[in-house]
Structure 1
Amino acid sequence: MYSNKLGPLMLGLCSRKAPAACMMRSGVSWTAMCKQRSLRSVCVKTQSQTVPCHTSVRAASQTTVDPEEVRRFQSMASKWWDEEGQFAALHAMNDLRVPFIRDHLLNVHTTRHPGKPLAGLRILDVGCGGGLLTEPLGRLGASALGIDPVADSIGTARLHSSYDPDLRGRVCYRACTLEELSAEEGEGEGEGKKGPAQFDAIVASEVVEHLADLETFAFCCGLMLKPGGSLFITTINKTNLSYALGIVVAEQLLRLVPSGTHDWEKFISPEELERLLESYGFSVQSVRGMLYNPVSGAWSWTNSAAINYALHAVKVRDDAQAEQAEESSSHPAAAHT
């Protein structure tokens, strides 16, 4: 995964409430889309009109990958499946995040498959690391693709999944970035080829707090999701508490985490993340606080999202976009507020 997975372990020490150059192919269509996106004024289009939406909240660098993060996780690529090691908190997080994803998808997709509730759904796991989340999604019946820029992590994921016959033909992995994948899918448009919107759900768990550019991430997710598709994110809030625990205590005082592991400026609050996603055509459906207990090694849901939180958003359907555009055009002043 892109993000450092030791963060949730340290941030869970306190449960009190407190005040978040394209590395892709240079195809003409993708370049044009990047240029349009970098204007940062995202529009809802109909056949006869274009209606501006929110101005997005961050500048665009057009790459999601931070090279320092890639180097850091390269050194840990063989340790993903050590349940007692530095990824122990991530293994334990599956007790919350897997049901969170499953239940929200079942609310949207009503077809039932006994024993394999996510059968028939295609899910993209962004920053999959060693496949800690990709595998359980595959066991629930989903066709799951895990991607990560660290090739050695993908090697670990492939090796581990090969031991489970139930995952064959259901889980696969690629060493690539989200923008590279979306560029390839975009180049596949045309008769007899797949378009970019091919996934029923995208998962980015403990990823966004270490991305180089969240606008590129949101833009690519919008391209890759089918209309009505779900986006699931777990991450760290941007609060004084997260700075105190994740940076000062963990890195500078106790040195339990290597200095420089976290950049507090990359943390993002649920409110800011919601504004960003809405500007790229998503509607946030749910935000829930999460808490890790380092003594018991277990995660639990909490009323406070001051430290860790999980978010579920849905890509606005084409018909809903058209309705929004029609409503905005009938109230021109409202479209610019």
Structure 2
Amino acid sequence: MSIDNEEITKFAKHSNQWWNESGSFKMLHKINYLRVDYITKIIKKIYNNSEIEILDVGCGGGILTEKLAENSLYKVTGIDPIENNINVAKTHKQDLKIDYHATTIENFTTNKSFDVICIMEVLEHVSDLESFLKSVLQHLKKNGILFFSTINKNICSFIEVIILAEYILRFVPRKTHDWNKFIPPSTISKLLLKYDCKIENLTGIRYRPLTDRWVLKESNIKSNYIGYAVKC
């Protein structure tokens, strides 16, 4: 089981904050438009205007899930191991057609496979990365797309994500992240290749303090980064 009980306890304390854009998850709200734009452009490029099934793993209160579900071509499922997160997501979705489940990826059962799976800001919080990725990929169709975003492991990410984001700028609560669990892209690439999935793109997510905006920068993945892989 890839679940980390300390992480579950930590995030469960903030379950009522998911839709407070000035609260514990304000950074996710600020970068959500970047994530949605990145994901939808790739989906359109590969699937054109076809109907597709999407699974959002570690969906939390549904910040990304809801935006994806606004597209009528996307049939979206969201799962999260924290039951109160799912309760918040179900309440907030209103008329959006989203299938939510309070479960881990290992215990998730369904009779369908997915064209697209998203694991955004999740990888750095699991206890067993390989086990988690293996379980995720079991639900992805052949030639399906895996979207992921996480944090590189180096001195730059320690300064930017731990010192600046948590202790100085207060983008997220202190101790949200553990630098020891940050992940170099090469580690993800090797694990994905082991399970017949190849990374096609990596792009950095950078903060611009003068404009208080986040931007995508393909040439800079030294800290936060987003990417996608295709299952062979």
TM-score w.r.t. structure 1 length?
A: 0.64
Q: Does structure 1 retain, via aligned residues, the 8 Å contact 2:24–2:173?
A: no
Deviation at 1:244, TM superposition (A): 2.6
Instruction: Give the structure 2 partner of residue 4 of structure 1.
Output: none
TM-fit CA distance, 1:280:
1.1
| Greater alpha carbon shift after TM alignment, 296-305 vs 143-152 | 296-305
The reply on whether 1:265 has 2:197 as its aligned counterpart is: no
**Cα offset, 1:295, TM superposition:** 5.3
Tell me the residue number matched to 2:38: 100
Q: Secondary structure at the match of 1:178?
A: coil
Identity %, equivalent residues? 38
Letter in 2 for 1:304: N
Residue in structure 2 matched with residue 69 of structure 1 by the alignment: 7
How many residues in Structure 1 have an aligned counterpart in Structure 2?
Answer: 229
Change in Cα spacing, 1:78 to 1:301, as seen in structure 2 (3 Å) is same
- In the alignment, is residue 173 of structure 1 matched against residue 89 of structure 2? no
* Corresponding residue number in structure 1 for 2:69: 138
More RCO (CA 8 Å, sep 6+): 1
The alignment partner of 1:90 has SS state of helix
Quick one: structure 1 residues 67 and 294, their matched pair in 2 at CA, closer, same or farther if it must change by over 3 Å? farther
| Residues 14 and 24, structure 2, Cα contact 8 Å, conserved in 1 | no
1:210 counterpart residue number: 125
Q: After TM superposition, give the deviation of residue 271 of structure 1 in Å.
A: 1.6
CA contact (8 A) 2:54 2:75 kept: yes
**Is 1:278 aligned to 2:193, yes or no?**
yes
Unaligned 5+ residue runs, structure 2? none
Provide the secondary structure at the position in 1 that maps to 2:3. Answer: coil
The answer for the alignment partner of 1:147 in structure 2 is 79
As a proportion of its length, which structure holds more strand? Answer: 2
Q: 1:283, 1:313 within 8 Å by CA — same for their partners in 2?
A: yes
Matched, 1:308 2:224: yes
Unaligned runs of 5+ residues in structure 1 are 1-62, 113-118, 186-193, 317-337
Question: RMSD across aligned C-alpha pairs, in angstroms?
Answer: 1.9
What's the CA shift for 1:87? Answer: 1.4
TM-score, reference length from structure 2: 0.92
Contact 1:95 1:299 in 2 (8 A): no
Which residue identity is paired with 2:64?
A: L
Alpha-carbon distance in 1 for matches of 2:210, 2:79: 32
Q: Within 5 A, what are the aligned runs for 1:33-52?
A: none
How far residue 140 of structure 1 moved from its aligned partner, in angstroms, is 1.2
Q: Is the 8 A contact 2:147 2:228 kept in 1?
A: yes
Post-superposition Cα deviations, 1:85-110, rounded to whole Å, max 9, x if no partner, equal 22121112122111111111112113
Which protein is bigger by CA-based radius of gyration?
1
- Does 1:123 pair with 2:61? no
- Note closer, same or farther for the CA distance 1:250–1:100 as it changes in structure 2 (3 Å cut): closer
1:58 counterpart residue number: none
CA distance in 2, matches of 1:282, 1:67: 28
